[in-house]
C-alpha cells in the first residue's frame, strides 16, 4: 500500500543504538489521516464498545483542542516514508506485507478517528501524532509486544491516588450508577468521572453566578473542567464538595432533558407549522439502541451533548448558596416542565450544528435568562399570594 496525505509538520530522529532505524514524527489533521492502513501488526485488535474506547470516541468528537498532546498517537511501521516540503505532503509506503507494516500501536485511536471525524464541523482543526518507524533492522514482533504493554497515567488518575474524589463517591453511593464510575485510567467502567465533573462545572455558581458569563467549558474543554476542580480542591468552602451533594438531582435533570428533548423539538416545530425530523439533525442518531449514561434508561435517539449542555446549564439560575449549603429555589424538574419547550426552541433556533451550539456563550446566557424569567414569575406569584392572605 502506498498513500499520500497532508501533514502539518515532520521531525526525523535516527535511533542512537541503531543508525539503520529512523523514526519520523508527523502531525496530521484528523480529516487528512488516510484510511485503510493495516491493523494486522497490532496484537490488540480494536474493540470499540469498551468504556475506554467510548472515552476515546468522545475525545475525537469533542471540539477540545490539544488531542495530539493528550493522546499517545499512532505508531506505524513502514517500508519507507518521504516528506515533500514544497506542498507538505507525506508519502507512506507500507509495502506488501500487512503483518510487517501497518499500525503497531494506537489502533483504537486510529479507528476512533476514522469512524468519527465526520461529526466534526469544518472549522474544527484537530491533530493526531504519527510515529513512523522505518528500517530493515526493525524487530516488529518485539516492538509490538513492548509498545502494547505501556500505559499512560492521566492527571485524573493521579488525583484518584490522593483520594480526592471521596466526596463524590459518598454523594452518589446510593445511586444505581455508583459502582459504574471509572476513577482510574484502567477502570473498565462505563462512566468516566470527568462526566460527573462536567455536570458540576455547569452549575458552578461561584465561578458563574449569573448570566454575565457561562460555563461553556463544560462542553468545549475537558481539561479546563478538571483544572477548575483541581484548583478548587483546597478552597474553603470547596464549591465542588457542595455541588457533589446535588449530583443525584443533576443526573436526574440531565437525563430528563436528554430523554424528552426529541418530543419537545417536535412540539415546537408543530406549533410553528414547520416540518423537521429530529433524527435527521447533525449530531443526532436514530438508528440503533440507545440508553442514558447513568441510569441506562432507553432513549429514542442518541443526542450530542452540544445540544443538551446549554439547556442543562441554564438551570443553575435556580441554585443558591445559603449558610454554606447549596439549595434549589425551585425543583429543576418542575421548571423543566414549564420552560423546556422554550429552551429547546431557543437552542435549535440558534443553530443546528451541535458544536456551534455547545460553544455558543450567547446561547448559554439566553437559556439561563429563560429559566431565570420563569423563576421570577413564580416568585412574584408566590409573594402576591402571600400578600392577599
DSSP characters over 26-82: EEEEGGGSPS----TT-SS---TTSHHHHHHHHHHHS--S-HHHHS--EEEEESEEE
Last residue of a domain, one of 147, 179, 212: 147
| One domain, residues 87 and 163 | no
Looking at per-residue pLDDT, the higher value among 45 and 368 belongs to 368
| One domain, residues 252 and 366 | yes
Confidence tier at 96 by pLDDT (50, 70, 90): confident
Counting residues of the chain whose pLDDT is more than 70, the rounded percentage is 92
Q: Where are the beta strands (DSSP E) in 264-384?
A: 284-285, 290-291, 298-299, 302-303, 319-322, 325-328
| One domain, residues 130 and 243 | no
Last residue of a domain, one of 116, 147, 178: 147
Q: Where are the beta strands (DSSP E) in the chain?
A: 2-6, 9-15, 18-29, 74-78, 80-84, 89-93, 102-105, 127-134, 181-182, 191-192, 284-285, 290-291, 298-299, 302-303, 319-322, 325-328
Q: Distances from the Cα of 312 to the Cαs of 129, 158, 172, in angstroms?
A: 34, 29, 19
Is 63 within 8 Å of 124 (Cβ atoms)? yes
| One domain, residues 233 and 315 | yes
Contacts of 285 (CB under 8 A, 6+ apart): 279, 301, 302
Q: Report pLDDT for 185.
A: 64
Lowest-confidence segment of 27-36, 64-73, 253-262, 373-382 by average pLDDT:
64-73
pLDDT at 42 over 70: no
Looking at per-residue pLDDT, the higher value among 105 and 26 belongs to 26
Q: Report pLDDT for 151.
A: 40
Rounded CA-CA distance 368/370 in Å is: 5
pLDDT at 312 over 50: yes
Last residue of a domain, one of 147, 176, 193: 147
**Mean pLDDT of all residues in the chain?**
89
| One domain, residues 202 and 343 | yes
| One domain, residues 234 and 257 | yes
| One domain, residues 321 and 257 | yes
| One domain, residues 237 and 125 | no
| One domain, residues 132 and 206 | no
Which structural domain range is residue 139 located in? Answer: 2-147
| One domain, residues 160 and 297 | yes
| One domain, residues 238 and 367 | yes
pLDDT at 13 over 70: yes
Q: Report pLDDT for 153.
A: 44
What is the pTM assigned to this prediction?
0.66
| One domain, residues 215 and 282 | yes
Q: Distances from the Cα of 322 to the Cαs of 98, 213, 242, 311, in angstroms?
A: 64, 22, 11, 25
Report the number of distinct structural domains present in the chain: 2
Rounded CA-CA distance 281/287 in Å is: 13
Amino acid at each position: 500500500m502506498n498513500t499520500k496525505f497532508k501533514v502539518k509538520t515532520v521531525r526525523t530522529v535516527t535511533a542512537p543504538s541503531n543508525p539503520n532505524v529512523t523514526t519520523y514524527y508527523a502531525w496530521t489533521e484528523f480529516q487528512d489521516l488516510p484510511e485503510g492502513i493495516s491493523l494486522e501488526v497490532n496484537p490488540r485488535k480494536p474493540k470499540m464498545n469498551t468504556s475506554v474506547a467510548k472515552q476515546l470516541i468522545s475525545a475525537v468528537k469533542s471540539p477540545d483542542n490539544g488531542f495530539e498532546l493528550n493522546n499517545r498517537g499512532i505508531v506505524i511501521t513502514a517500508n519507507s516514508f518521504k516528506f515533500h516540503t514544497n506542498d507538505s505532503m507525506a508519502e507512506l509506503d507500507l509495502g506488501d506485507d500487512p503483518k510487517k507494516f501497518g499500525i503497531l500501536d494506537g489502533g483504537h485511536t486510529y479507528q476512533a478517528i476514522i469512524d468519527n471525524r465526520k461529526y466534526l464541523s469544518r472549522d474544527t482543526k484537530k491533530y493526531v501524532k504519527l510515529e513512523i518507524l522505518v528500517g530493515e533492522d526493525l524487530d516488529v514482533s518485539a516492538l509490538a509486544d513492548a509498545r502494547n504493554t505501556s500505559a499512560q497515567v492521566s492527571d485524573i488518575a493521579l488525583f484518584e491516588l490522593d483520594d480526592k474524589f471521596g466526596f463524590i463517591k459518598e454523594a452518589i453511593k446510593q445511586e444505581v450508577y455508583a459502582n459504574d464510575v471509572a476513577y482510574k485510567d484502567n477502570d473498565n467502567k462505563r462512566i468516566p468521572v470527568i462526566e460527573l465533573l462536567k455536570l458540576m462545572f455547569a452549575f458552578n455558581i461561584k465561578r458563574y453566578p449569573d448570566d454575565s458569563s457561562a460555563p461553556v467549558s463544560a462542553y468545549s474543554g475537558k481539561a479546563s473542567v478538571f483544572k477548575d476542580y483541581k484548583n478548587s480542591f483546597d478552597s474553603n468552602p470547596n464549591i465542588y464538595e457542595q455541588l457533589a451533594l446535588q449530583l443525584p438531582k443533576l443526573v436526574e435533570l440531565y437525563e430528563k432533558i436528554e430523554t424528552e428533548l426529541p418530543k419537545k423539538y417536535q412540539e415546537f416545530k408543530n406549533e410553528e407549522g414547520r416540518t423537521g425530523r429530529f433524527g435527521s439533525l447533525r449530531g443526532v442518531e436514530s438508528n440503533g439502541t440507545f440508553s442514558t449514561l447513568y441510569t441506562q434508561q432507553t432513549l429514542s435517539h442518541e443526542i450530542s451533548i452540544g445540544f443538551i449542555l446549554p439547556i442543562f446549564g441554564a438551570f443553575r439560575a435556580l441554585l443558591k448558596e445559603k449558610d454554606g449549603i447549596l439549595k434549589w429555589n425551585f425543583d429543576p424538574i418542575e421548571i423543566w416542565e414549564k420552560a423546556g419547550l422554550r429552551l429547546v426552541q431557543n437552542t435549535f433556533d440558534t443553530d443546528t450544528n451541535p458544536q456551534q451550539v455547545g460553544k455558543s456563550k450567547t446561547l448559554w446566557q439566553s437559556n439561563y435568562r429563560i429559566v431565570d424569567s420563569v423563576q421570577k414569575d413564580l416568585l412574584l406569584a408566590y409573594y402576591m399570594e402571600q400578600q392577599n392572605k
